[in-house]
């Protein structure tokens, strides 16, 4: 069932385990009503991908994910022809093909005869769908997640424009294919590179930053219902303090959860500098960052 309003988005996302800000809930509702894709930018690990997953859960839709990377092209994102299958059919139908070209008096004539039947080999029977084609070919509406679009090449970003503006794709052998049902599209970016103005014009935009402490407390409490109030307050306050340091990689929400879960597994109900030192690997993933945090353990835990 579609969202009935901003408050409905907020309530259903929270029910699905995602705590949205009012800004996020508003943009999601507007995107649904305006049939616009949503470009979600922000640091890694703040819940951009999780937002798309939660929307799919709320709407009862399948989520189709395209993970972007450098060198990604149409054949990996849209479709590929099953050349081995085409070759196998060609060999199995050799006698029939011989009949088709037998009346031709020249090589060019034989090619013309074959070309009249090429639709038989470039049809749905031989096409291998990839995430984008699967999303617009689906008989039921889906959530399409184009994850980390900033890691793809600008050429691929340009290729996406037709899909994002008209919800159609063009396959040279088959022509233009319109979406059977319109997917709810989310694109995520960690700001590895700037997105083009053309792509931004086609999307509604959300920037998700590290959450305020009160919001992060609600997230941790929802994901780890057994955590004590004192440990919850200390964990979230300490992570907020660590994010203020000059680190190569600041801890994200999933790392806050990993750390809090580690403390619970170890039976800690109160955070101490020694406990932070013992479990620092769950928060920091860079050797240089260990030194920065360890030099301020007591300051961070008592903050």
Count the Cβ atoms, other than its own, within 10 Å of residue 143: 22
pTM of the entire predicted model:
0.83
Query: In the chain, how many H helices and how many E strands?
Result: 16, 9
Count the Cβ atoms, other than its own, within 10 Å of residue 240: 18
Burial classification of residue 183, based on how many CB atoms lie within 10 Å of its CB (0-12 exposed, 13-18 middle, 19 or more buried): buried
Burial classification of residue 48, based on how many CB atoms lie within 10 Å of its CB (0-12 exposed, 13-18 middle, 19 or more buried): buried
Residues 6+ apart with CB under 8 A from 6: 22, 25, 26, 29
Distance from C-alpha of 205 to C-alpha of 168, rounded to nearest angstrom:
21
Q: What is the pLDDT of residues 47-66, one digit of tens each?
A: 999 999 999 999 999 999 99
Distance from C-alpha of 121 to C-alpha of 301, rounded to nearest angstrom:
67
Structure tokens at 23: 């800004």
Which residues on neighbouring strands pair with residue 51, listed in sequence order?
A: none
Ranges of residues in the chain with a pLDDT under 50 are none
Give the pLDDT score at 303.
52
Residues 6+ apart with CB under 8 A from 189: 39, 40, 41, 48, 148, 149, 150, 195
Give the pLDDT score at 302.
65
Q: What is the pLDDT of residues 152-171, one digit of tens each?
A: 999 999 989 988 888 888 88
Q: From 212, 215, 217, select the one nearest 234 (Cα to Cα).
A: 217
Residue that has been written with the tokens 């806050």 in this structure? 256
Count the Cβ atoms, other than its own, within 10 Å of residue 47: 23
């Amino acid at each position: 069932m579609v969202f009935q309003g901003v408050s409905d988005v907020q309530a259903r996302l929270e029910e699905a385990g995602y705590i949205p800000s009012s800004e996020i809930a508003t943009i999601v509702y507007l995107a649904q009503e305006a049939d616009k894709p949503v470009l979600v930018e922000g640091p890694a690990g703040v819940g951009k991908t999780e937002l798309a997953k939660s929307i799919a859960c709320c709407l009862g839709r399948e989520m189709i994910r395209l993970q972007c990377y450098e060198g990604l092209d149409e054949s990996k994102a849209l479709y590929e022809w099953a050349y081995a299958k085409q070759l196998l059919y060609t060999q199995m139908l050799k006698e029939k093909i011989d009949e088709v070209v037998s009346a031709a008096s020249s090589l060019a004539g034989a090619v013309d005869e074959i070309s009249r039947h090429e639709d038989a080999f470039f049809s749905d029977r031989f096409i291998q769908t990839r995430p984008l084609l699967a999303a617009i070919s689906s008989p039921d509406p889906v959530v399409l997640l184009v994850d980390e679009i900033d890691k793809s090449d600008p050429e691929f970003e340009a290729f996406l424009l037709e899909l994002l503006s008209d919800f159609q794709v063009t396959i040279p052998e088959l022509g233009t294919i319109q979406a059977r049902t319109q997917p709810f599209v989310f694109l995520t970016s960690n700001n590895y590179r700037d997105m083009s103005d053309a792509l931004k014009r086609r999307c509604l935009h959300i920037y998700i930053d590290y959450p305020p402490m009160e919001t992060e407390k609600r997230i941790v409490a929802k994901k780890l219902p057994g955590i004590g109030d004192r440990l919850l307050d200390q964990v979230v306050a300490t992570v907020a303090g660590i994010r203020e340091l000059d680190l190569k990689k600041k801890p994200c929400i999933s790392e806050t959860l990993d750390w809090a879960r580690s403390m619970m597994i170890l039976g800690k109900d109160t955070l101490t500098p020694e406990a932070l030192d013992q479990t620092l690997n769950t928060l920091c993933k860079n050797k240089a960052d260990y030194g920065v945090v360890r030099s301020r353990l007591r300051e961070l835990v008592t903050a």
